[in-house]
Amino acid sequence: MTGAGAALKRWETLMFVLLVAIIALNSLDSRYFLSIGNFVNLFQLSIEKSIVALTMTLVIIGGEIDLSVASVMGLAACVAAWTFQHGAPMPLAVLLALAAGIVAGLNNAFWIAYVGLPSLAVTLAGLIGYRGVARIFLEDRAIGGFPEWFNQLGQQPIIGPLTASIVIFFILFVFFAVILHSSALGRMIYAIGSNVQAARYSGVRVGLIKTDLFVASAFVAALAGVLYAARLGSVRGDMAEGFELDIITAVLLGGVSIFGGKGNLAGVGLAILVILNLRNGMGLANITGNTQNYVIGGLLVFSVLAPNVWQDVRNTWRGREI
Amino acid sequence: MQRSVTPLLVSVRGLVKRYGGVTALDGLSLDVAPGVIHAVVGENGAGKSTLMKILAGVVQPDAGQILLEGRNVVMDSPAAARKRGVGIVYQELSLFPQRSVLANLFVNREPLRRGWVSTDAMRDMSRELLDRLGLDVDVAAPVSRLSIGEQQLVELARVLLERPRLLILDEPNSALNKRETERLFAVLRQLRAEGVTMLYVSHRLEEVFAISDRVTVTRNGKDVVTRDRAGLTIPEIIDAMIGAHQEDLFPPPLPARKCDAPEQLRVDGVCGGELDDIRFTARSGEVVGLAGLEGAGVSTLLGILFGTRKAQAGAAIFPDGRGLPRSATEAARRGVCLVPADRRRNGLMLDQTVLFNISQVVVGALKTGSPLFSPKEASARAARQIERLRIKTRSPGSLVNHLSGGNQQKVVIGKWLEIQPRVVLLDDPTRGVDVGAKREIYELIRQMSAEGRIVLFSSTELPELIGLCDRILILYRGRLAGEVAGRSVDNRTLLHLINTGERPTAAGSALQ
């Protein structure tokens, strides 16, 4: 029996059923719920987190974690705002922000892939350090007054009702799904997450692939940070603070194993939709944010427990048979 | 005569233990008189370690009984064994490296003074013992700062603090140098004088002779000889260890072959880890055996040739004319493969499918041209190897974890055959593999040799080496102790070389 695979499939089915149920309940609750406009708004509200969750999925499947993403988002936004304020044209400011993301990613990768430190510690240091740099750039000010085209990037629909951020999310979703599920690189990410030692003994260039993961993670985070700045129209030093936990929550809720090697992007996509609709529905039903957090937290515990409990039950049962 | 009237401390009757299809103990019996050092010797897989684990309560026997001073006891946990006065010093250290010597000595039974854990009390309680063991170290320092030999003594001290009546030592000196070994032996003799009974498991026969009073030889999970040491000689023990092997299991030795193929692999003065100046060559199509005790350097040598370990000195020339690979990736790309000894840790992604594992090397290491992964090609590879190696699996999509040891090993071999390796390094490939799969692995080795690949094959089972190899290199404590031709060496000579690093003096006729 392919126990783990079956359990995962069950988890995704469960998520899907949950999603349908939430949408059904919500639409009973409020007749505005099923409108396209509401869906787009809903998606738009935390589109930056959804974008970063894509690369976080790859990182966690690779058996690592990146806690520094929210700080990289903030750093990139601050770099863009600061260079813009100091006279750089906006396109250059955006490029510099993305470059800052790549530098942050290379820094993470160096300590993790080549020095061999645990990613939990390295990216925790990144979480603190990159935020610190962002605050040095902006101190307590808020910078705004970006060019019109930049603000529209985050607010104006470009394809039908979809904004640029949402379009970018879909493009990246397909891109990373192809990487993860149809490319050699994706197979190696799973291999490293399953057993890094065996991957190394099979000739996988572990250091290189970890570098790829952390650079991709920070680059996409920087991109998300820029998009966030465009949507808000102004940048502050504490931008996106605490986002990393929401992002990791979505990934784990999507059935990705925190121990690496298991999970897929479809599950994470479903989880993002579940969280959005759940929060939106609860909001429409006048349930407070604290209660919403409580529900999401419960769901997360359940998502991590469910496959393990299932496995334990099976093992106990087998043990009894022997 | 005298012994039969002495009440026995431990008596083991008809122990049976099976792991899956492998029988580790097959009705083993053992009587240990109080106050003696009783050695248990045997080849790898003869059941020594299992016996020790059962006595220590770590493993439960499938049948048989254990009598302690004539009374039937059940050792259903390590704690139960400890309570009955059985202490065990394991071959692998089981200390907490970051914690202090004292913390390790008193782990889980820290002495209290006024309700607080007291290091002073620990010092008082351990001082005399540590002095006696000659362990002169800073007891507040973390254990990791001690030498391996000192760590071994800390481990021994920890067990001795429990004042065991039966002390089990599982190859306690495998990590010790000569001086430390002598000190250990002096301590053991002193303990014997104080009435502690010891079961001493070791591979090194001279040392067994130096320390023990009585010797039991095990073979295939049974006790075959038990005698006072004074009535035994090393050749007698080796004969008993080998016994009449089921020769038909192992392939007959190769006929003498003309080795006119050019030398394609040359290893020149490689040092690194425990290795010291290793030199040898191998020809295309040759099967070269590597024999040695645990820690003699066989695995290190294979790791260096595969690029997962660094050589500190020396060089090598591979069939492609280049030197030692600098990484496993480079090795794989140059057609060098390693089937590692610890396949669960280093060989397989256990929670992935057979298909995933078999296609791993091609996908992960080779430059395939296209960045995309072809499921069709991967299925073809998996199907090919499943058929060729007769891997028993429900489907290519089954998890490797659910296969038997032999079939798991075939998956590891299969993933490497997919790259058509020119140099095949096999690190004890038949360990933990059932008899049928073993025979299939032998056939594969023959086949790889016939295809002109260079095979370096390490094994702990001598008949395998003798039956499969053109030549056998013997490593002893990191140096090349000798080289023998596979077809002209007998078990006895080989075992002697492996265990002592020297050829037997009297019966040297089997050698060239």
A199 interfaces chain B, CB cutoff of 8 Å: yes
Better pLDDT: A188 or A10: A188
Give, in order, the Cα–Cα distances in Å from A142 to each of B197, B314, B434, B491.
79, 62, 70, 82
Among the residue ranges A138-147, B114-123, B258-267, B392-401, the one predicted with the least confidence is B258-267
Query: Per-residue confidence at B367, pLDDT binned at 50, 70, 90?
Result: confident
- A5-14, A79-88, B372-381 — most confident range: A79-88
- Indicate yes or no: CB of B372 within 8 angstroms of CB of A186: no
The CA distance from A120 to the nearest CA of chain B, in Å, is: 21
More confident residue, B460 or A177: A177
Quote the tokens at residue B256. 């003498």
Q: Is some CB atom of chain A closer than 8 A to the CB atom of B399?
A: yes
User: Residue B464: pLDDT above 60?
Assistant: yes
The answer to whether B349 contacts chain A (CB < 8 Å) is yes
Could you report the per-residue pLDDT of B28-70, keeping only the tens digit for each? Answer: 999 999 999 999 988 766 788 888 889 988 888 999 999 988 8
Through-space distance between the first and last CA atoms of chain A, rounded to whole angstroms: 17
Q: By three-state DSSP, how is residue A242 classified? A: coil
Tell me if A195 and B360 make a contact (CB, 8 A cut-off). no
Tell me the C-alpha to C-alpha distance, in Å, between residue B510 and each of B293, B483, B500: 22, 13, 17
Nearest Cα of chain A lies from the Cα of B481 at a distance, in angstroms, of: 29
CA distance B84 to B166: 9
**Closest residue in chain B to residue A205, using alpha carbons only:** B329
Looking at residue A6, its pLDDT comes to 56
Cα nearest neighbour of B415 on chain A: A202
Partner-chain contact B373 A184, CB within 8 Å: yes
Residue A156 banded pLDDT, cuts 50, 70, 90: confident
Contact A191 B338 (CB under 8 A): no
Tell me the residues of chain A between 243 and 302 that have a Cβ less than 8 Å away from chain B: 261-262
Query: Cα separation of B365 and B421, whole Å?
Result: 13
What pLDDT sits at residue B244? 57
Q: For residue B273, what are the CA distances in angstroms to A93, B276, B277, B303?
A: 52, 8, 11, 10
Mean pLDDT of B390-401: 88
User: Is the Cβ pair B399, A201 closer than 8 Å?
Assistant: no
Select the residue of A183, A203, A205 nearest B331 (Cβ to Cβ).
Answer: A203
Looking at residue A58, its pLDDT comes to 97
Q: Which domains does chain B have, with CATH numbers?
A: 2-247 (3.40.50.300), 263-335+421-512 (3.40.50.300), 348-420 (no CATH)
Segment B484-497 mean pLDDT? 81
Residue B203 vs residues A220, B43, B72: alpha-carbon distances, Å:
57, 8, 30
8 Å CB contact of B349 and A184: no
Structure tokens at A52: 């970063």
Residue A183 is given by DSSP the state B
Q: Report the DSSP beta bridge partners of residue B116.
A: B113
| Domain with A157 in it | 44-241
Per-residue pLDDT band at B300 (split at 50, 70, 90): very high
| pLDDT tens sequence across B221-248 | 888 888 888 888 877 887 787 775 545 5
Q: Do B346 and A201 touch (CB under 8 A)?
A: yes
A203–B363 CB contact, under 8 Å: no
Question: What chain A residue is nearest to B403 in terms of C-alpha separation?
Answer: A1
Give mean pLDDT, residues A207-217. Answer: 96
The answer to whether the beta carbons of residues A113 and A211 sit under 8 Å apart is yes
Per-residue pLDDT, averaged over A142-163, amounts to: 88
Q: How confident is the model at residue A36 (pLDDT cuts 50, 70, 90)?
A: confident
Best residue in A187, A201, A204, A259 for a mutation probing chain B (most B CBs within 10 Å) = A201
Distance from CA of A205 to the nearest CA of B (A): 6
Mean pLDDT of B421-429: 93
* pLDDT tier, B259 (very low <50, low <70, confident <90, very high otherwise): low
Within a domain: A127: yes
Interface mutation target, options B333, B363, B420, chain A, most CBs of A under 10 Å: B363
Alpha carbons A41 and A301: distance in angstroms, whole number: 28
pLDDT of residue B493: 83
The reply to whether residue B356 touches residue A188, judged by beta carbons under 8 angstroms, is no
**Tokens coding B295:** 């820690």
Q: B201 CA to chain A: closest CA distance, Å?
A: 31
pLDDT at residue A50, as a whole number = 96
CB A108 within 8 A of CB A166: no
- pLDDT, position A313: 67
With beta carbons less than 8 A apart as the criterion, state whether B373 and B349 touch.
no
| Strand spans (E) along B234-358 | 263-272, 275-283, 287-291, 313-317, 336-339
Per-residue pLDDT band at B22 (split at 50, 70, 90): low
Q: Each residue of A271-290: b (16+ CB within 10 Å) or e?
A: bbbbbbbbbbbbeeeeeeee
Q: How far apart are CA B431 and CA A106, in angstroms?
A: 42
Query: Which band of pLDDT confidence, cut at 50, 70 and 90, is reported for residue B510?
Result: very low
**Is A293 within the bounds of a domain?**
no
Q: Is the pLDDT of residue B1 over 50?
A: no
For B364, nearest residue in chain A (alpha carbons): A204
> Shortest Cα distance from B93 to chain A (angstroms)?
22
Q: Residue B21's pLDDT is what? A: 61
Number of domains in chain A: 1
Q: Are A199 and B365 in contact (CB under 8 A)?
A: no
Q: Is A70 on the interface with B (CB under 8 A)?
A: no
Average pLDDT over every residue of B177-195? 84
Tokens of residue B462, six digits = 């001598």
Residue A12 lies in a domain: no
Neighbours of A239 (CB within 10 A): 26
What are the pLDDT digits (tens) for B266-275? 999 999 888 9
**Cβ B356–A2 below 8 Å, yes or no?**
no
- Of the two residues A97 and A155, the one the predictor is more confident about is A97
Q: What is the least distance, in Å, from the CA of B474 to any CA of chain A?
A: 25
DSSP H helices, chain A, are 3-29, 36-45, 47-61, 69-85, 90-109, 119-138, 148-155, 164-182, 184-194, 196-201, 206-232, 243-253, 265-284, 289-321
- Which residues between 48 and 67 in chain A have a beta carbon less than 8 angstroms from any beta carbon of chain B? none
- Are A194 and B351 an interchain contact pair (Cβ–Cβ within 8 Å)? yes
Alpha-carbon distance of B489 to B253, in angstroms, equals 10
What residues of chain A lie within 8 A of the CB of B351, using their CB?
A: 4, 194, 261-262
Predicted confidence band of residue B2 (pLDDT cuts 50, 70, 90): very low
Residue B424 backbone phi and psi in degrees, to 5: -110, 115
Strands (E) in B118-253, as ranges, are 166-170, 197-201, 214-219, 222-228
Residue A320's pLDDT is: 43
Q: Write the residue in A178, A190, A202 that is nearest to B361 by C-beta.
A: A202
The answer to whether residue B53 neighbours chain A at the CB level (below 8 Å) is no
Question: Can you give the pLDDT at residue B450?
Answer: 87
A194: closest CA of chain B, how far (Å)? 6
- Domain-located, residue A296: no
pLDDT of residue B406: 84
Number of A to B CB contacts under 8 A, please give it.
Answer: 97
Distance between B2 CA and the closest CA of chain A, angstroms:
46
Domain membership flag for residue A318: no
A191 to chain B: which residues are within 8 Å by CB?
349, 352, 356, 360, 364
User: A171-180, A217-226, B96-105, B177-186: lowest mean pLDDT where?
Assistant: B177-186
Residue B146 confidence class, pLDDT cut points 50, 70, 90: confident
| A120/B contact by beta carbon, under 8 A | no
pTM for this prediction: 0.77
**Predicted pLDDT at A45:** 86
Q: Does residue A188 belong to the interface with chain B, where contact is any CB pair within 8 Å? A: yes
**For the segment B433-461, what is each residue's pLDDT rounded down to a tens digit?**
776 788 888 889 988 988 889 999 998 87
Share of chain B above pLDDT 70, in %: 91
* Interface membership of A205 toward B (CB under 8 Å): yes
Residue A26 lies in a domain: no
* The pLDDT value given to residue B330: 94
Share of chain B above pLDDT 90, in %: 29
**Ramachandran region, residue B478 (left: φ > 0; alpha: ψ -120 to 50; beta: rest):** left
Whole-number mean pLDDT of chain B?
85
Q: Is residue A77 part of a domain?
A: yes
Which amino acid appears at position A277 of this protein?
Answer: N
B396 and A CB contact within 8 Å:
no
| Average pLDDT estimate for B406-411 | 90
Closest residue in B to A190 (Cα) is: B352
Query: What's A114's DSSP letter?
Result: I
Chain-chain contact of A201 with B327 (C-beta, under 8 angstroms): no
Average pLDDT of the segment spanning B149-178: 83
Residue of A88, A91, A86, A78 lying closest to A130 (CA atoms): A78
**Best-predicted range by mean pLDDT (A217-221, B140-144, B326-330, B412-416):** A217-221
Residues in Cβ contact with B109 at an 8 Å cutoff, skipping those fewer than 6 apart? none
| A257 within a domain of the structure (yes/no) | no
Q: What is the mean pLDDT of residues B367-380?
A: 84
How much is the pLDDT for B241?
Answer: 79
How far does the CA of residue B336 sit from the closest CA of chain A (Å)?
Answer: 10
Q: Would you call B371 and A183 a contact, using CB atoms and an 8 Å cutoff?
A: yes
